[in-house]
Amino acid sequence: MFSDADGRVVNGDGVLLLVARDMKARNVLAGSLVVATTMSNMGLEIALRNSGVRMLRANVGDKYVLEEMLKSGATLGGEQSGHVIFRDGESTTGDGLLTALRVMEIMARAGKPLADLVRDLKVFPQTIQNVRVREKVPFAQVPEIQRTIEDAERELDGNGRVVVRYSGTEALARVMVEAESETKMRALASGIASAIHRTLGI
């Protein structure tokens, strides 16, 4: 994670964006492709697309990011948390010091402050609500939950995202919603969380 000169946090999404652009400009971004996860903000996908870079989404977890990178041949991947993996010759695993050095190298090469390199990254408001559950039934098998998710996706109409998944380590359902409007984001997330609580909650 980084902080720009004004104290604004630049997380892994911002790092992936500025590194992807630099690597593409130097013709070392294989396939003009970046691997992120389901938690990466929709704003990253849009900013990458505007720079001619395609983004694939893997499940949360660096091992899943690496699996997708190996499968797709991508040379850059990472998570919103700041865990970035470079596969362009210097490393085969995530390394925080390497990420810091690469970001500073890009800033020096561009002659620009960090804020300028990620200025066009429009971060969609994002919320995550956790719901404790008694069992992890596939959501598609619970009509009320499935219907609520589909209704939310229809309402967003491509201007946001809904990701509902179970925690890999706890008896929790995680509801993530992104939307252009914070009010809409919170309302849709609450609706889905309520449906899960009613049908599967403790």
Closest CA to 18 of 88, 76, 81: 76
Digit-by-digit pLDDT tens for the chain (202 residues) are 999 999 999 999 999 999 999 999 999 999 999 999 998 999 999 999 999 999 999 998 899 999 999 999 999 999 999 999 999 876 767 889 999 999 999 999 999 999 999 999 999 999 999 999 999 999 999 999 999 999 999 999 988 999 999 998 999 999 999 998 999 999 999 999 999 999 999 9
Q: Which domains does the chain have, with CATH numbers?
A: 2-117 (3.40.120.10), 126-200 (3.30.310.50)
Q: Are 32 and 53 in contact (CB under 8 A)?
A: yes
pTM: 0.83
Per the listing, tokens 């939950």 go with: 145
Closest CA to 85 of 112, 117, 61: 61
Find the angle CA(153)-CA(154)-CA(155) to the nearest 5 degrees. Answer: 90
Strand order in the sheet with 160-166: 126-132, 172-179, 160-166
